Amino acid sequence: IAGVPDILLIKDGEIFGLELKALGGAVRPSQRLAHAAMQEAGAKTAIAKGLDEALITLECWGILRRDNSKITAFPKASPETKTNERADSGT
């Protein structure tokens, strides 16, 4: 059906529609109409440009959960890294 989002999900009785677009991709009028009709019926819809936006949208909806235990803000420096940093700084 023209305009229906690329991904349709049902979770805990709620309906979600996610349209996936490449960076720079345009939304067609039929897609805007389909999203509006779905929202009027109580569904949550979104348009994601790129993979990162799609994943963030799914996280915000509670469809996906990020496993923060595997994320490190700063990798631990090895003794070799510290030696190289000193050599690069001229000290």
The closest alpha carbon to 16, from 36, 39, 34, 43, belongs to 43
The answer to pTM > 0.85 is no
- Residue 23: its pLDDT value, please? 87
Q: 64 CB contacts (<8 Å, ≥6 apart)?
A: 55, 58
Which stretches in the chain have pLDDT values below 70?
71-91
CB 87 within 8 A of CB 81: no
- Residue 91: its pLDDT value, please? 46
For the chain, report the end-to-end CA distance as a whole number of angstroms: 66
Cα–Cα distance between 24 and 7 in angstroms, integer? Answer: 19
Quick: pLDDT tens for 30-52.
999 999 999 999 999 999 999 99
* Residue 30, SS3 per DSSP: helix
